[in-house]
Amino acid sequence: MVGAFPDGNSALMLAAARLRHIAGTQWGMKRYMNMDRLKEFKREQLAIVEGIAG
């Protein structure tokens, strides 16, 4: 079977090049999730675990 890429490594190299390009553009700097809320949740969970263990 003949595919678009001669081997898996070729496809991986193309995907990696595209990701490097995207990371270098303004689009790559967008954030889709507020990480502050995730950090707050993690602190809350840690406090609960420490309360149970202590």
Q: Is the pLDDT of residue 10 over 60?
A: yes
Q: Which residues contact 39 (CB under 8 A, 6 or more apart)?
A: none
pLDDT at 39: 92
Q: What is the pLDDT of residues 13-53, one digit of tens each?
A: 999 999 888 888 877 667 777 888 889 999 999 999 888 87
Residue 13 structure tokens: 């190299």
Q: What is the pLDDT of residue 18?
A: 92
On the question of pLDDT at 1 being above 60, the answer is no
Task: Say if residues 17 and 11 touch (Cβ distance below 8 Å).
Answer: no
This prediction has a pTM of 0.44
| pLDDT confidence of residue 28 | 64
